[in-house]
A and B are shown apart, each in its own frame.
Chain A
Amino acid sequence: MTALNRRDTLLLGAAGMIPTGAMAQETPRKGGVLTVHFATEQRILNPSLQASTGVYIVGGKIQEALVDLDNDGNPVPVLAESWKSSPDGKTHTFKLRQGVTWHDGKPFTSADVAFTAMEMWKKILNYGTTLQQFLTAVETPDAHTAVFKYERPMPQGLLLRALPDLGYISPKHIYETGDIRQNPANTAPIGTGPFKFVQYERGQFIIAERNTNYWRPELPYLDRVVWRVISDRAAAAAQMEAGQILFSPYSSLAISDFQRLSRDARFEVTTKGNEGNARTNTVEFNHRNPVLADVRVRKAIGHALNIPFFIENFLGTFAKVGTGPIPSVSTAYYPTSGIPQIGYDVALANRLLDEAGQRRGAGGVRFSVRLLPAPWGEDISLFATYLQQSLQQVGIRVEIVRLDAAGFLRSVYNDWSFDLATGWHQYRNDPAVSTTVWYRSGQPKGAPWTNQWGWQSDAMDRTIDDAATEVDPARRRALYAEFQKLAQTDVPILTPIEQIFVSVFNKRVRNAANNPRWASSSWHDTWLAS
């Protein structure tokens, strides 16, 4: 090593600039307690019954899925060792890992997989019920083979990309008797994962400890994981600084604290490890309002927004301009060209509104709308205000109506009592999981985060349906490019900002963020430097 090199390394090291990846060379240390910020308490902790980040952050360490994603976003084996699909896409065979035991000592077998798939994914799990709608049976020719049978073709790419989130397995022997929803194991989960559930004190903390019988030899490194319930953002940032928590996942701190902590050498503030949890900020239109039913008005609203300005001044480096419902982090499906974009252009916005017959009246006002911002996330609240001010400049008066979570969902997705709404659309690795439902017509009334806009397009419906059952990966990709194009041409909703969740780590946490859904993953190789 030359003198210069050594000095550079020292400088980098001193400034805390060495990325987590470069530290992978260090010998992992066994032991230690990882304390984690738990911002919103959940009713249950079992990820085979509820698909949400708040459940994965705990349950994902205790229970395991059939597959997970690797650093590049490709499916890798967990409880399934290998898989094979029939050419028609109607049969998918999983070879299961042998010698795995549940935390209570019983062996893990294909019966557990069949039970979980049929009784939980297909009947109870949100998004699972849609994904597995055409699953007819799971056959178990032997204890370590599970054969999934579908009535209609299920693309392998969709299944494997959905399963890391929607493929957690629960023990049949615990759940087979009684009402699944009331099973005590829902809040005291039993799994095959690297950590065993110990204790849950509501409103305070959850503790899990090392599973000494874990199937990956010598793992995990950590002795314990402790989740501390802290609902106040500012208090959580203070606990981070006081060293009481070492990791805060899923953008749970205030935006100003991200900026402050990122300048502190003790912490790393990053979107890395959350690529599988991309979201877009939305502007949802109620097409039952004849003014908004005109595509020129919707486009004009898009053109009136200076998104780069908003991002630069309010969101900082953790967001970028949205280009459509499929976010750019989705390398498998993101179309790189040929997608129309709606850029900032006030003159064009004014012209489009004039053409649509919405002339300025008294006080320069063209028309008035009610905007409902979703109550989850500081950025939504800021964006609502920004929308209000931007639209005022093109003559649209916006009244902001703030409601809490239950009120917002009921008003927008069930009562349709809104003109504009703004919130998040969550992208879950494949457009068919939770994205196309925002555009497909015929969604039952009251289903949140689906097309409740009163908008329908035959071309869109056909594209979505074809893609959902297309087994050929290349053709499927092309269909989703078409989907993105239609979404940006008809603009039933706007997806102007693309964001990835922000994680804050204490730099003692090693091997962190080494896969695209790290906060949700099992942490079997995570360790703590002393």
Chain B
Amino acid sequence: MRVLALAGRRLAASLPTLVLILVGLFLLLQLAPGDTVDALMAQMGGGDAALAEDLRRFYGLDLSIAARLGQYLLRLVTLDLGFSAIYGKPVATVILERLPATLLLMAAALSFAFFFGLVLGVLAARRVNRWPDTLISTLGLIFYATPSFWFGLMAIVLFSVHLQWFPAGGFYEIGEGLTGLALTLDIARHLVLPTLTLGLIFLAIYLRIMRASMLEVLSLDFVRTARAKGLTETRIVTRHVLRNAMLPMITLIGLQAGTMLGGSVVVETVFALPGLGRLAYESVVQRDLNTLLGIVFVSALLVIAINFLVDLLYAKLDPRIVSGG
């Protein structure tokens, strides 16, 4: 129960932050030159001034900034995210359409990075300063230093164009009318390359953190005690060290959930996936304020939810957090 109270308090504290972010973003976007009608004109290739004025009225841009901000916040209280200028639909609908692809990609990439980061980190720590450690660390550094769009494109060139193992883009095969298991497998096939591309960069971070954390825990007194008891090295690692070394990794998941929502813009663009990142990018370019604020709102909720889960997980891994306070 104490855990829930603790996490609940955190949850309440994040609400003012959320409002601040939304207001800040609203004002920030007012500083960008041009509005959604200018963006539309650019897309149309021109139109006369009367038409532009007409459109500004249509999108409600003839009101003052304060009036529009007030309207937006009032609507938000009733959980109405407004109407999207570029999509001509309620923002909530637009975001809901995009959420599955984003969540799937995020979950897959995070799990991939977490699992392999953990395994490789442990391996590197156990062979510290010997060749497996050097190899793993070097690979990690290469993954971390390579831009994801390049990774993505090279993966497409190799696996889609030359080997033809995986599709070059898209979320599922269009017009095949697949359902059930066939559809699941098809989506999985489409997500392999994007997951690898997005996951590899994060893998490098998890690997480094896990390695460092393992080395630190391995040098602690209770490990020496365990060794003195005559436990095997494998048992020491799995039973005693791993659990303690995992804490920083869990922290990282909470932090990176947010990064990954934004960081997937590039991957979504390269692989033509219908995710939130691309939607956010488009709404900035098109100055579609409602959609952008809606995405920020939903992303913030997601990050808060994930951090809530992380808090719960902490307590599970380290009972001292609950009892110690």
Task: List the interface of chain A (C-beta within 8 A of B).
Answer: 33, 40-44, 50-54, 124, 126-127, 129-130, 181-182, 186-187, 201-205, 207, 224, 226, 228-232, 234-235, 238-239, 241-242, 244, 376, 403-411, 414-415, 426, 434, 443-450
Nearest CB to that of A204 among chain B residues? Answer: B274
Contacting residues, chain B, for A181 (C-beta < 8 A): 58
Q: Pick the residue among A224, A376, A446, A448 that contacts B175 (CB under 8 A).
A: A224
Contact A129–B50 (Cβ < 8 Å): yes
Complex CA gap A448/B43 in Å reads 11
Interface size class of B (residues with CB under 8 A): 35 or more
Contact A447–B47 (Cβ < 8 Å): yes
Contact A407–B51 (Cβ < 8 Å): no
Contact A204–B48 (Cβ < 8 Å): no
Contacting residues, chain B, for A403 (C-beta < 8 A): 33-34
Contacting residues, chain A, for B52 (C-beta < 8 A): 446-447
Contact A448–B153 (Cβ < 8 Å): no
Contacting residues, chain A, for B164 (C-beta < 8 A): 242
Tell me if B174 counts as interface (CB < 8 A to partner A). yes
- Determine how close the nearest CB of chain B comes to the CB of A141; give it in whole angstroms: 31
Q: List 5 A-B pairs, Cβ < 8 Å.
A: A126-B44, A226-B174, A244-B167, A244-B170, A443-B49
Contacting residues, chain A, for B174 (C-beta < 8 A): 204-205, 207, 226, 228
Nearest CB to that of B53 among chain A residues? Answer: A446
Contacting residues, chain A, for B49 (C-beta < 8 A): 443-447
Nearest CB to that of B279 among chain A residues? Answer: A203
Q: Pick the residue among A201, A203, A405, A450 that contacts B285 (CB under 8 A).
A: A405
Contacting residues, chain A, for B152 (C-beta < 8 A): 235
Beyond A126-B45, A406-B33, is A235–B39 a contact (Cβ under 8 Å)?
A: no
Complex CA gap A449/B291 in Å reads 28
Q: Pick the residue among A203, A229, A409 that contacts B38 (CB under 8 A).
A: A409
Contact B156–A406 (Cβ < 8 Å): no
* A-B CB proximity, top 4 nearest: A406-B34, A126-B47, A444-B49, A203-B274
Other A-B pairs beyond A43-B85, A232-B269, 15, CB < 8 Å:
A127-B46, A182-B88, A204-B272, A205-B170, A224-B175, A228-B272, A238-B153, A239-B160, A242-B156, A242-B167, A410-B38, A415-B33, A444-B50, A447-B52, A448-B47
Complex CA gap A426/B46 in Å reads 10
Tell me if B87 counts as interface (CB < 8 A to partner A). yes
Contact A238–B51 (Cβ < 8 Å): no
Beyond A202-B274, A448-B47, is A406–B42 a contact (Cβ under 8 Å)?
A: yes
Contact B45–A53 (Cβ < 8 Å): yes
Contact A235–B271 (Cβ < 8 Å): yes
Complex CA gap A456/B217 in Å reads 78
Contact B43–A52 (Cβ < 8 Å): yes
- Determine how close the nearest CB of chain B comes to the CB of A195; give it in whole angstroms: 14
